[in-house]
Structure 1
C-alpha cells in the first residue's frame, strides 16, 4: 500500500504528451533510477494527494521487473500536471442557442463539452474557457492564449491562429477545428512548433454538398429575385423569366472531387447535366464511368467549358486567390460560380468586377474572408448573388457529428491515444493531409475589426 507521501519519478518523452511512471517505492531516489536515454525532462513529485493514489493503482500496468516498473500514464492526471486550459471559440447562439440545445456549435451549448467533461469526471484535468470574443488584442481569446494547451475553433466563427498568436501561445499543443477546414491556422508555424492540428473530416460532407446543389439551382432558376418579388408585393413574370434556365444539359464542373466534390457530382447526375471535374488526385476509372464525368488536367481547362463552376477545394497557399481576374476571364460569358469552400480562393474585387460587367451571370456561396464578413463587404451589395452566412456545414445534423468528433479528438489527446488518420492535418511537425500544403493562409484576417 502506498503511503500518503511517496517519491514519484516521472519522465516525459520529448515532444510528446506521454509520461512514464518509473518507480513508486519509497526507497527509489532520482540518483538510483535507471531510465532510458531516449527520455528526458525528469522531475520528482512528493506528497501525492490520497485521492490520486487510485491513479497509481489503476491496473493499467503489469510489470515483471519491480525495480523498473514502466507504467504509461497520462500527462493530464490531476496528481501530476494539473489542469489543461482549453480555449473554445464559437459563435453566439442568442435566444435560438438558449432554446435549442441541438445548436451545439454556439457559445451557450459549447459543443456539449461541459456535459462530456462532467460525465467523464475530467473537471480536475480540463478548464474550459468558452467565448465568441476573438478579434483584437483586448479580446478574451487573446488574453487566454498564453495559458491554452488546446484551442478549439470552427470555420463559421474562426479564431485565426496566425504567427503572432502561435508565438504567444507558448503552451499550445493541439488546435482542433469543430468542423472541416483548418486554414485559419498557420500550418507552417504549427509544423515548426510541433502543434497538432486536427479537424472532424467528413462531418459536413453531406450538408455542404446539398447546399451546393441548392445554390446552383437558386442561381440558374433565378430564384432570389423571384422570392423578392413575392416579399415586395410584385408580380412581374417576364422580369424573372428573363434570367431563368433549366439546369438540364448544362455543363457543370467541380474544382476538387474529394469528400464534398464527389458528393456534389453524385447529386447532380440525376439532373442530366454534363459533369466535369479537376482534382490533383484523379478518381477511380469506375467512378468516372458511373458518373459519366470528364476529367480535366487543370482548372483552366475546366473553367473554359463549364456553365457552372462549383469550388470544393481547401484553402492553402496553392489555392489562395486561385480564381483571380485571369482565371475568371477564362470562364464562359454568362456562367455561374458557387463557392462553399473558402472566400479567399476568390479574388474579391475581381469577382465583383466580373459580375457587374455581366461576364459572370451570378455568384453564390456561404464563405467570406475574413469571417464574419464586414457590413460593407462588396459581395453583400453585388448584383445577382445568392450569398448566405457561412452555415452550409453547420446544419443540426452536422453539428452533432462535429461535436462528437471534437470530444473524440480531445479525449484521445488526453489519453495519449492515436487520432484517426483522416482527422489529422498536422502531426509531428509535418502536414500529413494530402488536401493541404504547408504554408500560411491566415494573412489579412485582422483587417476585419
Structure 2
C-alpha cells in the first residue's frame, strides 16, 4: 500500500518548474495569489502542514511557532537567510529548519558590482537625465564619478558571496581588503590578493568602497552604526546586498544628506520593504527592491535545494541543509 504523501504548504509563488515538481512529489498547497499571508492565515497554514516552505518575508517568531500544533515537522526555507525564523524555538518544538545556501552567490556578487558601478559612475542620474529629455549635450565636467581601478574595496563578511565580490573587484583592478570573524586560509587570501583587517574600524577608515556581505545576527545588528559610519572617508561609498539591519539606516541617511559619505547602493533595508522616504529622495543613493538573487537560474536552484531537503526528510534522513542554532 502506498504511504501517504507529505502535506506541504508553500507561502508564496515559486518558479513554475519548482511548483510542478513539488506537485509531483508531495501533497502541495500553493499560494496562487502570491499575496503575503497575514498572521492568522499563516498560523492556520502551519497547523495543517507537515512541511512549510516560507521565504524571507514570512516572520516566524516564537509566538507564531507556538500556534503551529504538533503536525509541523519541517520548515524548508526558500532562501539562504534564516534571520526571519526563530530557529531556537523551532528546535525546542521538534521542528527542523533548512535553507538553500550557496545557490545565489554569483547572482548576488554580480548585483553588488552593479550597485558599485551605479553609485560610483552616477548611472541613475545619467539615466534620469536622458529619460526626462533634459540632457543638453556632453560637457567636460558633467556627471563626473569615481574610477574603480586602483581603489580599495573593503568587504565586510568574507563568506561565499564576499569572496565572489572580491574576485570581481580584482578584475576591475581594485585592491581587496576584508574583515571577517575568522581570517581566510593563506591560499585563499593569496588567490584573492586580499588584505585582512582584525579591526573593522581601521578597515572602514581606509577604503573607498565598503561592501556589506555578512548575515544579520544579533552580533551584526547595526554593526555599521553612526560611530563607524563617521570613520568612513567623505569620498567613500557603501553598498549593501546582505541584510538591511547591519547598517543603522537613520544614521546613514543623515550622513548622506550632509555629504559625510559620498553615496550608497542598497538592495536591502532595515524596514524590509518600507524604505525611509528621506533616503529615497537623495540623488547620491541607488535603491533596488531586493533584487540580488533575482535570476531565473538562481531561483530554480533554490527550489531544487528545497525539494532535496524535503525529500531527504521524507525518506527519514537528515536534510543536507539543516540549520542548527550553533550555526547562527
TM-score between the two structures when normalised by the length of structure 2:
0.91
1:195 is aligned to: 95
CA shift in 2, pair 1:375/1:352, >3 Å? closer
Is 1:424 matched up with 2:322? yes
2:177 counterpart SS class: strand
Task: Write out per-residue CA displacement over residues 22-58 of structure 1, whole angstroms, 9 at most, x where no aligned residue.
Answer: xxxxxxxxxxxxxxxxxxxxxxxxxxxxxx2xx5xxx
C-alpha distance in 2 between matches for 1:335 and 1:328: 10
C-alpha distance in 1 between matches for 2:243 and 2:316: 32
Q: What aligned pairs does 1:301-316 form with structure 2 within 5 A after superposition?
A: 301-316=202-217
2:215/2:243 contact within 8 Å kept: yes
Instruction: Return the structure number with greater strand share.
Output: 1
2:12/2:36 contact within 8 Å kept: no
1:148 counterpart SS class: coil
- Identify which range, 378-387 or 163-172, moves more after superposition: 378-387
2:262 counterpart SS class: strand
Is 1:178 matched up with 2:78? yes
Instruction: Return the structure number with greater helix share.
Output: 2
1:145/1:165 contact within 8 Å kept: no
1:249 counterpart SS class: coil
1:319 is aligned to: 220
Please report how far the alpha carbon of residue 272 of structure 1 lies from its aligned counterpart in structure 2 after TM superposition.
Answer: 1.5
Of the three residues 291, 299, 304, the one matched with 1:391 is 291
CA shift in 2, pair 1:226/1:172, >3 Å? same
1:222 is aligned to: 122
2:183 counterpart SS class: coil
Tell me the number of residue pairs that the alignment of Structure 1 and Structure 2 aligns.
Answer: 325
Structure 2: 5+ residue stretches without partners: none
Larger radius of gyration: 1
Is 1:412 matched up with 2:312? yes
1:234 is aligned to: 134
Of the three residues 291, 296, 302, the one matched with 1:402 is 302
2:11 is aligned to: 89
1:86/1:128 contact within 8 Å kept: yes
Please report how far the alpha carbon of residue 187 of structure 1 lies from its aligned counterpart in structure 2 after TM superposition.
Answer: 2.4
C-alpha distance in 1 between matches for 2:54 and 2:221: 21
Q: What aligned pairs does 1:5-16 form with structure 2 within 5 A after superposition?
A: none
Task: Write out per-residue CA displacement over residues 163-215 of structure 1, whole angstroms, 9 at most, x where no aligned residue.
Answer: 21111112332222212211111223223223222111111001001111111
Please report how far the alpha carbon of residue 333 of structure 1 lies from its aligned counterpart in structure 2 after TM superposition.
Answer: 1.3
Of the three residues 50, 59, 64, the one matched with 1:160 is 59
Is 1:112 matched up with 2:18? yes
Structure 1: 5+ residue stretches without partners: 1-51, 56-76, 92-103, 437-449
Please report how far the alpha carbon of residue 87 of structure 1 lies from its aligned counterpart in structure 2 after TM superposition.
Answer: 2.4
2:187 is aligned to: 286
Please report how far the alpha carbon of residue 377 of structure 1 lies from its aligned counterpart in structure 2 after TM superposition.
Answer: 4.6
2:106/2:164 contact within 8 Å kept: yes
1:49 is aligned to: none
C-alpha distance in 2 between matches for 1:279 and 1:151: 33
Is 1:353 matched up with 2:259? no
C-alpha distance in 2 between matches for 1:114 and 1:345: 36
C-alpha distance in 1 between matches for 2:7 and 2:42: 12
1:442 is aligned to: none
Please report how far the alpha carbon of residue 276 of structure 1 lies from its aligned counterpart in structure 2 after TM superposition.
Answer: 0.2
CA shift in 2, pair 1:415/1:293, >3 Å? same
> How big is the alpha-carbon RMSD for the aligned residues of Structure 1 and Structure 2?
2.2
C-alpha distance in 2 between matches for 1:378 and 1:136: 28
Is 1:134 matched up with 2:36? yes
CA shift in 2, pair 1:238/1:143, >3 Å? farther
C-alpha distance in 2 between matches for 1:141 and 1:239: 57
CA shift in 2, pair 1:240/1:149, >3 Å? farther
1:58 is aligned to: none
1:368 is aligned to: 269
Q: What aligned pairs does 1:32-111 form with structure 2 within 5 A after superposition?
A: 52=1, 55=2, 77-78=3-4, 84-90=6-12, 104-105=14-15, 109=16
CA shift in 2, pair 1:141/1:206, >3 Å? same
Please report how far the alpha carbon of residue 84 of structure 1 lies from its aligned counterpart in structure 2 after TM superposition.
Answer: 4.1
Task: Write out per-residue CA displacement over residues 129-166 of structure 1, whole angstroms, 9 at most, x where no aligned residue.
Answer: 4263435445x3243222233221223xx211012111
C-alpha distance in 1 between matches for 2:293 and 2:278: 23
Please report how far the alpha carbon of residue 242 of structure 1 lies from its aligned counterpart in structure 2 after TM superposition.
Answer: 4.7
Please report how far the alpha carbon of residue 279 of structure 1 lies from its aligned counterpart in structure 2 after TM superposition.
Answer: 0.9
1:356/1:383 contact within 8 Å kept: no
C-alpha distance in 2 between matches for 1:146 and 1:326: 45
